[in-house]
Amino acid sequence: MTQKIAILGASGYTGAELVRLIATHPSMEIVALAAERKAGLSMVEVFPHLRHLDLPSLVKIDEIDFTGIDLCFCALPHKTSQQVISALPRDLKIVDLSADFRLRDPEAYAKWYGNAHSAVEMQGEAVYGLTEFYRADIAKARLVAGTGCNAATGQFALRPLIAAGLIDLDDIIMDLKVGVSGAGRSLKENLLHAELSEGSNAYAVGGTHRHLGEFDQEFSAIAGREVKIQFTPHLAPFNRGILATCYVKGDAQAIHNALETAYDDEPFIEVLHFGATPSTHDVRGSNFCHIGVSGDRIAGRAIVTAALDNLTKGSSGQALQNANLMLGLEETAGLMLAPVFP
């Protein structure tokens, strides 16, 4: 049976990535696409690379009849997302790709996002969408909150280590190299090819990046105490990919073992042999995450690196993985596309 799918916010990169993935999904059909400012346009006018697909035209959200729609992806900006979602039918399954339902604590939300949450009652309902760690809850959920792309990468590297008590919780440093598409389709000078290509710089330095809200929430919950990490993202001149380099204090070999054990049965998480390092080149366009562990010349220290594609495993691929679970489909359906290299 084909599941009927709507995508709200279809004119951004994560919206386009959802369409790309669903295009070869065996049991989903896109029946509605919404984009406020581009309503009235065909999808081909907004994304010519989707030309071969027979897709509905873009409409405004309130033009959609949600009767008969099985699941709705929301790829809207945060704040807009909570408003739109709280007005959707109560029995509609929703995967939200925005930041609006990631943080369970309304105060934490207000702190990191600068505005009071307008749908607090739904925050409780929402399940955090890091599939590998919330699988059972996601399968039963009506509303799943997709994780931040950086937050996903870092958690894949560190959750099993925190859970196993293998690393010093007071000294975790995470340095990220982040591809451009993570910034979305926004028109900013620093995202122009002329300004961004051929160099790199740090941003949101010093603990100001919003994804820290997710790390704080999740790592503290696992550890049973407050955990605060240091986190510095760097913009790098590639379109897809996040590479997280995590500096931790603990036994490197034990860390490697813990990660291998944790992800042994996972279809999308690959732990490399000890000492090997992953590359974002090797996961581009796919739903896979590669993780590497190395010891340092200083005893008791380890470097854990994780690479994934921010638009796939970091957002739209994760969203589809969750949707599969929510709809009772095979979790990997439509997601086994091999990475595109070179």
Structure tokens at 336: 């086994």
Q: Using CB under 8 A, which of the segments 70-78, 82-90, 96-104, 205-213 binds a copy of itself?
A: 205-213
Strand partners, 177: 234, 243
Does position 299 interact with a copy of itself (CB under 8 A)? The reply is no
318: three-class secondary structure by DSSP: helix
Q: Residue 191 carries which side chain, given as an amino acid letter?
A: L
Residues 184-203: x where in contact with a copy of itself by CB under 8 A, - otherwise, as a string:
-x-xxx-xxxxxxxxxxxxx
Q: Nearest Cα to 68, choosing from 95, 34, 31, 33?
A: 31
Q: Which residues are catalytic?
A: 149
Rounded Cα distance, 269 and 335, in Å? 13
Rounded Cα distance, 56 and 53, in Å? 10
Between residues 51 and 120, which has the closer beta carbon with respect to a copy of itself?
A: 51
Q: Using CB under 8 A, which of the segments 76-84, 99-107, 313-321, 333-341 binds a copy of itself?
A: 333-341
Q: Using CB under 8 A, which of the segments 63-71, 111-119, 275-283, 315-323 binds a copy of itself?
A: 275-283
Does position 83 interact with a copy of itself (CB under 8 A)? The reply is no
Residues 302-331: x where in contact with a copy of itself by CB under 8 A, - otherwise, as a string:
-x-x-x------------------------
Does position 156 interact with a copy of itself (CB under 8 A)? The reply is no
* 40-79 core/surface letters (b: 16 or more CB in 10 A; e: else): ebebeebbeebeeeebbbbbebeebebeebbbbbbbbebb
Does position 112 interact with a copy of itself (CB under 8 A)? The reply is no
Structure tokens at 1: 């049976």
Does position 247 interact with a copy of itself (CB under 8 A)? The reply is yes
Does position 260 interact with a copy of itself (CB under 8 A)? The reply is no
